[in-house]
Structure 1
Amino acid sequence: MEIYMNKKLIAIAIATAVSAPAMAATSNVEVYGLMSMGVDSVNTDLLNGTSNRVGRVSDYASRIGFKGNEDLGNGLKAVWQIESGVTADGGTAAGNATNGSTSTATAGTGSIGGATTAFGGAALRNTFVGLSDQALGTVMIGKIDTPYKSSTGRLDQFSDTLGDYNNLVGAASGVAATSYFDLRPANVAAYATPNFSGFSAVAGYVFGGESATSGTASNGNAYSLGAMYDAGPLYLTAAYEKHNLGSGASGSLSTGLATAGLERKAWKLGAAYSIMDFTLATMYEKTDDNLGAAGVSAYGHNTWFLSGKYQMGAVALKAQYAKAGEIDNVANSGAKMYTVGADYGFSKRTTAYVLYTKISNDAAANYNFAYNAAPGSAAGADVAGFSLGMKHSF
């Protein structure tokens, strides 16, 4: 009996010794995620007087991720993150700028210019590896939200819902929301400065892709810049982004067209202020391009945005408004969006919400929902929807 017990103790000791390094090696890994689902009733009102109403269950950016860091000494850390969308409604991952999914579009107007181009894995979200130093800042490479996108994300009171501000902000009439700005591209190298008394900045460079091209054709490139001031109740930001579209047949920034010098660019200013239980935010965005005939702008326009939230204990009352101006050289191509709703926080991690949103398109405009677009839409059609949803983060 004693011999048996000794052997058992020895086996336990060996197993412990073998597993201890593995546990230590993974002890800095954090598992996190979000489950976000909504029950929607969406309606498309066509100009001929007909209407199309659809009831559905929609996934709103559900995700799972793993992240961690390793202390390398002297204030330096290795940082990493792997994050993937879940699409819990069983649908496809394609569909909007914020989730960085596959974009299918015509040449010259696709995901940063590509025709039928994916920014990396179809469901892959922010995924990167890098080095971080408290005094010097952070360098990352991977698939990352552009600084242009992330600089104003906090202004959106209905982020990752049917009323997401990307219905109009960063979008363009007649172009899929994946196709213009507020993107999450692959092949990104980014640098974020430390925080200097509330001031910080982020710069990102997007490579056109790994595929080589022949002759004088190019894969293109893009760069994105964002500056932020975040102190107390006040938040201010300015951002700029430019896409230099390549003329090659491959690469995520290539148009597939034998045309050089095609480009898109945008800038925006944003601000938010909180006083007691009330938060007010505003933003102005201006986009431009030379994708039209003879190099004129095909989708350039301006967008105004305003949002507000009033917190009453567990209840948050929210509203926001966006107005997209007419596309350059296209009459009656503007749109307006109205969204109202309320959240109820069961806890810090679990929230239920209800909202109503409507996009009123001018006669030549065709804006739609960035997440799970309303079916049967056409130029001049208004789209609207009620959504009752729930979010749980872990």
Structure 2
Amino acid sequence: MKAKLAAILALSSLSATGIAAPTFYGEIDLSIDYLKEDNANGRDRDVTELSSNNSFLGLKGDAKLNTRLSALYQAEFTLYGDDGQSGSNDTFVPRNIFLGLKDQHLGAIKLGKIDTPLKQLSSQVDSFNNYVENNADIHGIMAGETRIDNSLVYEAPSIKLANGQLEAKVQLATGEGEERIQASKGGYAVAGRGLGDSWSSSLLYSQPTWLAGLAYDQSMPTRFLSRGFLNAQDRAVTADRNVIAAADNLRAIARVNLDNGVSLRALYQVSEIADHNSGEKANQDALVKNIDQAQAWLLGAEYKLPQAQAWTVKAQYSQNVVSFNDATADYQVQQILAGADYAFSKQVKAYAHAGYLTIEQASQEDKQLLLGTGLEYKF
């Protein structure tokens, strides 16, 4: 009773000062996934797992400071409903956490740990975003899916243009004197000393029937040679487990919404090892220095059944090819996914998915089969 009374008094005091109470929100998404791996070398794997698919909890809100200016805040944490992140037993891992100011005419400034603008574009076209612990979406095979520590983001006011609107974002990051990129809980810290040694930007134009976006990263940490649904066992094919490097990424996306309930989606991306920061380049591993570039693309479609609006069927093909500066054979990943969603409401849906992935390098080839079903609840 005392705890409830304290909470009521706290909310009352916020209202009295003109500050709105924070919004509590989140998503719980769990699936049962069967994975069968046929590895060229090493042991095959045949396993059923519980996957916690990007579930999260968060608080967000704003406080109006005057007729134009508001303070913004958000604190969001990944929530693991299974045994934790890759067996680390971390139930909560920080996601997007920031504090900022927004002016109605000049836009918003945010400071904190924030997804790159390039990464944010993928949610517009990736129909299997966050599936199988973020490994069946494009995060499992492509570069550029990165959250950055110690960054400043500017979001320009949206501009009405024709029947749609244009949105622009830029993110500047600082390595705070570090000479190498660093992995952190839920993200990466860049290398370098100045704010803006590493940066990301995006433009997105959207209207009811279609949207198109373009984004560019410079010297942003990303993962090369990623390994599919839940990581194949064969290192002869996949090289090192996680090849992390500062990269320049260029990403273009498009989506068309047709009148018959069909949505067509596409993404193209090219990534290269960054050479803007001489200190970072000098510290790169030999394998990283040998990477020439990665080219990736995605084609997908969703169809909302006209006679059964609760049902959506979808399919997606994506691939990534990493080439090297010497005679090393290309590293190629191809991924096919299909699935169906049933929406009980705007908050709750059940879904099923199937996928097939191949990882090839020279004569070596790994294959992965995926079957799964899950439940998602948003609040």
Which bracket does the TM-score occupy, shorter chain normalised?
Answer: 0.7 to 0.9
- Alignment match of 2:166 (pick from 191, 195, 199): 199
- Does the 8 A contact of 1:78 with 1:130 survive in 2? yes
Amino-acid identity (%): 25
Distance 1:125 1:294 in 2: 29
Residue 280, structure 1, aligned to residue 264, structure 2: yes
Question: How far is the alpha carbon of 1:292 from its aligned partner?
Answer: 6.9
Contact 1:201 1:226 (C-alpha < 8 Å) held by counterparts: yes
From the superposition, tell whether residues 339 and 208 of structure 1 become closer, same or farther in structure 2 (CA, over 3 Å): same
Which of 81, 85, 88 aligns to 2:81? It is 88
Among candidates 150, 157, 178, match of residue 120 of structure 2: 150
Post-superposition Cα deviations, 1:281-334, rounded to whole Å, max 9, x if no partner, equal: 111100111657599551621011111100011000000001212423431411
**TM value normalised by structure 2:** 0.75
Among 130, 154, 170, which residue is 1:160 paired with? 130
Match of 1:380 among 356, 365, 369: 365
Aligned twin of 1:239: 215
Out of 256, 267, 270, the position equivalent to 2:253 is 270
Farther off after superposition, 16-25 or 305-314 = 16-25
CA contact (8 A) 1:151 1:227 kept: no
2:100 to 130, 141, 148: 130
Partner residue in 2 for 1:117: none
Does the aligned pair in 1 maintain the 2:77–2:94 contact within 8 Å?
yes
Aligned ranges 1:1-394 → 2 under 5 Å? 20-22=12-14, 24=16, 27-48=20-41, 51-92=44-85, 123-162=93-132, 163-170=136-143, 181-197=144-160, 198-209=165-176, 218=192, 221-243=197-219, 263-276=246-259, 277-289=261-273, 297-298=290-291, 300-312=293-305, 313-329=309-325, 330-363=328-361, 380-394=365-379
Pairwise CA RMSD: 3.1
Kept in 2: contact 1:363–1:381 (CA 8 A): no
**One-letter amino acid of the counterpart of residue 165, structure 1:** I
Alpha-carbon displacement from aligned partner over 1:17-69 (angstroms, at most 9, x marks no partner): 89732554564310001001010101111115963111111101111100010
Q: 2: distance between equivalents of 1:351 and 1:165?
A: 22
Partner AA of 2:356 in structure 1 = K
Matches of 2:107 and 2:87, distance apart in 1: 33
Matches of 1:280 and 1:244 in 2, distance apart?
A: 29
Q: Which has the higher strand share?
A: 2
Q: Deviations over 1:192-233 (max 9, x none)?
A: 1111111111000111137699xxx95574100111101121
Query: In terms of mean alpha carbon deviation, does 67-76 or 18-27 score higher?
Result: 18-27
CA distance in 1, matches of 2:346, 2:336: 27
Amino acid at match of 2:142: V
Deviation at 1:147? 0.7
Q: What is the total number of aligned residue pairs between the two structures?
A: 315
Residues 329-359 of structure 1, C-alpha deviations (whole Å, 9 max, x = no match): 4314112100000000000000111001121
SS in 1 for 2:365: coil
Residues 156, 169 of structure 2: 8 Å contact kept: yes
Measure the CA separation in 1 of the matches of 2:65 and 2:318: 46
SS in 2 for 1:352: strand
Q: Distance in 1 between matches of 2:217 and 2:320?
A: 19
1:348 alignment partner, SS class: coil
Cα distance change on mapping 1:203 and 1:16 into 2, 3 Å: closer
Tell me, yes or no, if the aligned pair for 2:35 and 2:368 is still in contact at 8 Å: yes
Q: Retained in 1: the 8 A contact 2:15–2:21?
A: no
Q: 2:79·2:92 contact (CA, 8 Å) conserved in 1?
A: no
How big is each residue's C-alpha offset from its partner over 1:152-175, in whole Å with a ceiling of 9 and x where there is no partner? 3211001110231222232xxxxx
Which ranges in structure 2 are unaligned for 5 or more consecutive residues?
A: 1-6, 181-190, 222-244, 276-283
CA contact (8 A) 1:189 1:204 kept: yes
1:12 corresponds in structure 2 to: none
Aligned-pair distance for 1:90? 2.4
